[in-house]
Structure formats: structure tokens, C-alpha cells
């Protein structure tokens, strides 16, 4: 058990290390000079001004130091929570900008992931039971998983937001309101939240339904199902056992799919101008705010790693076999 978690934590720590290193390396080793490209975009004619800007950017990136020193400084700043200053929202530190956006992203992601997982599993389990349902759920599920997140978001925003006028299509709350705990503000918040949530929920739903359906069919072919059937056990009981066994790979699937769903939430937020991390990333790209972009990247990686670790714990808690198996050091 301890060995299992030690191993997991090691992989996550290594991943974080790799992510930070990528983050540090990309501006330095990509073809092209980041300082030069910034100067070109500022398009200064005055040589003095451009020299001042060059000095500024060189010192911001720390390009005047030896490489190893740059790398260590990067880590040092990171541990102090210093990710640089945002260009887009000058002079706000990147960490503050991101921390303001994180609650909105989480508020979308957590319900969308959990609900789609629960509902998708139910659907899939039912679908595996009947031929008619299977023939409808399966194609619908595949089409949903093949749908790009932003496209479904666009369709919903257009259909339910603009044509039908039922929901607002931009922002997290009405621009006429100030954040407080009034009934009006909360209802505005919920109204703005619903469409982005719905579109993420729908896209994610298909994958879980298909996965569960396949797992149930696989479980129903296994020995214990046949044995129960031979004993004359009721169908419902066999189904129940199959469902519980099929749950476990679905939990692992949750960890594997996390990156995809997070990516989907970024794209969905952009469509709805929802002020989460995805919207920040779009602003960062459009405003050439590289510190903000890199900060957001690190936050996303850290979030995914933490979520993975939570899923690992849940997996062990749900499945008593892993505990025994892992004490023996198998796997």
C-alpha cells in the first residue's frame, strides 16, 4: 500500500518536474528569439527605446545569467509563488490573475466531470441490456465523443442562447451586477453557468456510456457470470455484480480522460467568454502575455496531477482487492 502510493507520488513529482522544465525550456530553446520577437511586435523606431526594452526583457527572462543559474532561479521563483507579472492586466501578478479564474473553471469542471461520469455509466449499463437501447445509445455515444467541445458549445449558444433567448451566452454573471450573495446575483450566476456546463456534460457523457457498455458486455461473458447464470441467479443480480466490477476500469478511465476533459473546458470557456482559465489562455495568446500563459499551464498541470492522486486514493478505497494485491507488491 505504502509502496503503491510512494510510486504514484514519484511519478507525479517527476511529471511536475518535467512540466516545469518544459515551461522553462520552451522560451529558451525554441527556434527564434523571444526578446527579438517582442521588440518586433512593439515596433519601436527609437533605437534608445528598443535598447531599453531589450534590456528589460533580457533581465526579465534572466538571459544574462548562465543557463544553470537561470534554471535554479526559475524554480526558486516558483516556490515563492512568483510566476511573473501579467502583461494583459499589468501590473497584477500572474498568480493573482490565475487564482481569480480558478474558481470559475472548477465550478464548471467538477459538476460536468462527476455528473457525466455517473449518468454515462448508468446509461451504458442499461444499454448493454437491451438490443434496442444499444442500437441507439452506441451511435449517439460515438457521435458525442467525436464532437469537438467548442462546436457543441457553439451550437448550444446559438440555439438555446441566441435563437431561443433562454440563456445568456457570455460572461459568468450579468455585467450589470456586482458579486454579492443576493438572490439576483446567484440566479444570474446559475443562468450563465448552465450552457457551458451542459455542453461539457454532453460531450463527456458519450465516452463514459460507451466505456461502461463495453465493460458490462465483457463482464457478462466472464466465468463468474456464467456460473451465476448456471445456478439460476436472477438477471438483476448478475447485472449488479457486473456493474460493480465494470466500475473499477471506469475509475481508471476517469484519470486517463481528465486531460481531455480539462482541455474541453478550456475550449468551452472560450466560446462562452466564461472567465475561467481557458478564457485567460485566450487573452494571454491574443495579448502576447507569455507569463500568464505559462502560469496557466503550470496551474493546469498541477490541478490534473492532484486530481489524479485523488482518483488513485478513491480507487484503493473502492476496490478491496488492490489493497491486498499491492501489499504483496504485485503490479
Partner 1 sequence: MTAAQPLPDPLAGPEGTAAALPEAPRREALYFALRNKKLLIGSAIVGSLLLLGILAPFFFQNGPNERIAPPGLEPSAQYWFGTTQFGQDIFVQFAHGVRSTFLVGVLGGGIGAVIGMTVGFVAGYKGGWIDEILNMITNVVLVLPTLAVLLIIAAYLESRGIVMQSLFIGLTTWPWAARAIRSQALSLSSRDYVDLARLSGFRTHKIILRDIAPNMSSYLFMTFILLFGGSVLAAAGLDFVGLGPTDGMSLGLMMHQAVKWGALQLGVWWWFVPPGLGITAIVGSLYIMNVGLDEVFNPKLREM
End-to-end CA distance of the chain: 11
Write down the least CB distance from residue 308 to partner 1, Å.
6
Residues with Cβ within 8 Å of 89's Cβ and at least 6 positions away in sequence, in order, are 97
- Cβ-based nearer residue to partner 1, 255 or 316: 255
Residues 6 or more apart in contact with residue 157 via CB below 8 angstroms: 169, 195, 271, 272
> Any idea of the CA torsion for 70, 76, 81, 85, to the nearest 10 degrees?
-30
Nearer to partner 1, 172 or 254 (CB): 254
Query: Is the CB of 16 or the CB of 185 nearer to partner 1?
Result: 16
Shortest approach of partner 1 to residue 181 CB, angstroms?
A: 31
Measured from the CB atom, the residue of 238 and 301 that comes closer to partner 1 is 301
Measured N-to-C along each axis, helices 149-156 and 183-220 cross at an angle, to the nearest 10 degrees, of: 130
Helix axes 290-318, 94-127, angle to 10 degrees: 40
Instruction: For the CB of residue 30, give the shortest distance to partner 1 in the complex, in Å.
Output: 5
Q: Taking the mean position of all CA atoms in its chain, how far away is CA 241? A: 31
Beta carbon nearer to partner 1, 172 or 280: 280
Q: What is the distance between the alpha carbons of residues 25 and 21, in angstroms, rounded to a whole number?
A: 6
**Half-sphere exposure (Cβ direction) of 259: Cα atoms closer than 13 Å:** 6
Asked whether 179 and 299 are in contact (CB, 8 A), the reply is no
Nearer to partner 1 by C-beta: 85 or 277? 277
Angle at alpha carbon of residue 297, lines to 205 and 87, rounded to 5°: 125
CB 221 → partner 1: shortest distance, Å? 7
Alpha-helix runs per DSSP H in the chain: 2-29, 34-42, 47-61, 67-79, 94-127, 131-146, 149-156, 183-220, 223-231, 235-271, 277-286, 290-318, 320-327
Minimum distance of partner 1 from residue 322's CB (angstroms) = 17
At its nearest, how many Å lie between partner 1 and the CB of residue 245? 14
Task: Provide, rounded to whole angstroms, the least separation between the CB of residue 146 and partner 1.
Answer: 4
Closest distance to partner 1 from the beta carbon of 305 (Å): 6
Using the minimum distance from each CB to partner 1, give the nearer residue, 46 or 286. Answer: 286
| Residue placing its CB nearer to partner 1 in the complex, 85 or 109 | 109
296's CB contacts (< 8 A; 6+ apart) are 98, 277, 280, 281, 284
Closer residue to partner 1 in complex, CB, 120/188: 120
- CB-count burial class (<10 Å; 0-12, 13-18, 19+) for 177: middle
CB of 179 to partner 1, least distance (A): 25
Residue 254 burial (CB < 10 Å; 0-12/13-18/19+)? Answer: buried
Amino acid at each position: 500500500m505504502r509502496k503503491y502510493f510512494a510510486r504514484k507520488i514519484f511519478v507525479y513529482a517527476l511529471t511536475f518536474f518535467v512540466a516545469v522544465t518544459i515551461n522553462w525550456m520552451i522560451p529558451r530553446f525554441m527556434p527564434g528569439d523571444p526578446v527579438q520577437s517582442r521588440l518586433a511586435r512593439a515596433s519601436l523606431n527609437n533605437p534608445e527605446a528598443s535598447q531599453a526594452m531589450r534590456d528589460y526583457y533580457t533581465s526579465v527572462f534572466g538571459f544574462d545569467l548562465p543557463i544553470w543559474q537561470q534554471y535554479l532561479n526559475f524554480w526558486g521563483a516558483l516556490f515563492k509563488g512568483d510566476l511573473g507579472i501579467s502583461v494583459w492586466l499589468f501590473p497584477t501578478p500572474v498568480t493573482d490573475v490565475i487564482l481569480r479564474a480558478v474558481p470559475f473553471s472548477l465550478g464548471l469542471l467538477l459538476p460536468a466531470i462527476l455528473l457525466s461520469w455517473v449518468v454515462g455509466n448508468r446509461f451504458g449499463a442499461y444499454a448493454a441490456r437491451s438490443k434496442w437501447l444499444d442500437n441507439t445509445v452506441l451511435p449517439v455515444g460515438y457521435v458525442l465523443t467525436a464532437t469537438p467541445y467548442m462546436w457543441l458549445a457553439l451550437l448550444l449558444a446559438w440555439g438555446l442562447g441566441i435563437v431561443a433567448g433562454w440563456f445568456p451566452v457570455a460572461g459568468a454573471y450579468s455585467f450589470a451586477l456586482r458579486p454579492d450573495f443576493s438572490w439576483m446575483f446567484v440566479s444570474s450566476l446559475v443562468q450563465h453557468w448552465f450552457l457551458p456546463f451542459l455542453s461539457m456534460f454532453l460531450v463527456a457523457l458519450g465516452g463514459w456510456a460507451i466505456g461502461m457498455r463495453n465493460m458490462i458486455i465483457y463482464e457478462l461473458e466472464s466465468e463468474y457470470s456464467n456460473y451465476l447464470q448456471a445456478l439460476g441467479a436472477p438477471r438483476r443480480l448478475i447485472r449488479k455484480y457486473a456493474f460493480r466490477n465494470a466500475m473499477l476500469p471506469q475509475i481508471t478511465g476517469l484519470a486517463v480522460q481528465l486531460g481531455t476533459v480539462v482541455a474541453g473546458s478550456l475550449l468551452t470557456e472560450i466560446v462562452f467568454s466564461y472567465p475561467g482559465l481557458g478564457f485567460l489562455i485566450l487573452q494571454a495568446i491574443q495579448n502576447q502575455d507569455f507569463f500568464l500563459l505559462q502560469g496557466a499551464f503550470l496551474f493546469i498541470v498541477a490541478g490534473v496531477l492532484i486530481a489524479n492522486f485523488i482518483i488513485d486514493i478513491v480507487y484503493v478505497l473502492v476496490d478491496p482487492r488492490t489493497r491486498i494485491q499491492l501489499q504483496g507488491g504485485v503490479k
